[in-house]
Structure 1
Amino acid sequence: RALMVGSEPQVVKLKNIQHLYTPVRATLKTSAHVLQFVERMHPTPALGGDPQAAAVASIAQIEPLARGWYGAPVGWLDGVGGGEFAVAIRSAVALGERVRLYAGAGIVGDSVPAKEWDETALKFKPLLGALGLTGTRHSVLGAQSAREVLSSEF
């Protein structure tokens, strides 16, 4: 078995935004299934906080909406226990004519709530574009209460 972690984060440039990416690759023991590894890695510290138990409990109390599939591991499995997974840092769930979009900000001690809010709005642009909602007015359920929560927590 082997574990390879990139020595430094790499910049991934997308159309609307840039991300830091650290590749992690592993060859698991023959008796292990890739989902065992995925389960141990979820949620990542970037999305679930650290220490994990306390952070996840705080998130559940603070955030006004459930996260849905935001931050979930997504990927593929083969027939012998291998696969490849990534973290869904954007997601959308549709039910009838309603669509709920998910994106977030990396909140740390030095975060400025207004800047984090603006960054999150930027992250929604590709999702809105895919739905044909660019340049139109659309409502974001819970947006005002979410902004108030962010502002009051810093």
Structure 2
Amino acid sequence: ATAQPSLHATASMWHLGTRIQARLKDPSTTVASLVARLHPTPAVCGTPQRLALDTIRSLEPVPRGFYAGAVGWTDAQGDGDWYVAIRCARVQGRQVRLYAGAGVVAGSDPADELAETAAKFTALLTALGVSDAPTT
């Protein structure tokens, strides 16, 4: 893994990313099992994982369901690239449910977190061609 995360820019957001590259000790380990062991990442759940996940489940009014996961590809040799998908949309017929969140920590400012989450939703709405996205 890189020593420091790197910055990645999109049209509306900056993202932190850490490249992890490794060779498995046991070549019979499937990429699916490896990705499953890494989820949910601290970016999605927090740490320590079990306490954070239990706290999220007790405080959030709506189950996360489809929110977050790994997206990527694997070739026949088991090589590939995988990324954490933090924002996503679930499309069913004419309905779309958007998923986005903020990294709330002890020093977070609620107004700043709300503005950041609104910006993340705006990026998703723009991608879907919704021009009258709500603003904060």
Provide TM-score, normalisation by structure 2: 0.89
Partners of 1:56 and 1:136 in 2: how far apart? 30
Q: What whole-Å deviation, never above 9, does each CA across 1:52-104 have from its counterpart, x for those lacking one?
A: 11111111111122223322111112223333211111100012221100011
Inter-partner Cα distance in structure 2 for 1:66 and 1:93: 14
Once the two structures are TM-superposed, the CA of residue 136 in structure 1 deviates from its matched residue by 5.1
The answer as to 2:6 corresponding to 1:7 is no
8 Å contact kept, 1:125–1:134: no
How far has the Cα of 1:42 moved from its partner? 0.6
Provide the residue aligned with 2:100 in structure 1.
103
Pairing 1:69-148 to 2, within 5 Å after superposition: 69-135=66-132
Aligned partner (choices 18, 21, 45) of residue 22 of structure 1: 18
- The verdict on how the C-alpha distance between 1:135 and 1:7 changes in structure 2, with shifts beyond 3 A counting, is same
- Alpha-carbon separation, structure 2, partners of 1:105 and 1:127: 15
Look up the SS of the partner of 2:21 in the other structure: strand
Matched residues, number: 134
Name 2:38's counterpart in structure 1.
41
**RMSD value over aligned CA atoms?**
1.7
Cα offset, 1:40, TM superposition: 1.5
Stretches (4+) displaced over 6 A: none
Q: 1:132 to 1:39 in 2, by over 3 A?
A: same
Structure 1, unaligned stretches of length 5 or more?
Answer: 138-154
Greater relative CO, 1 or 2 (CA 8 Å, sep 6+): 1
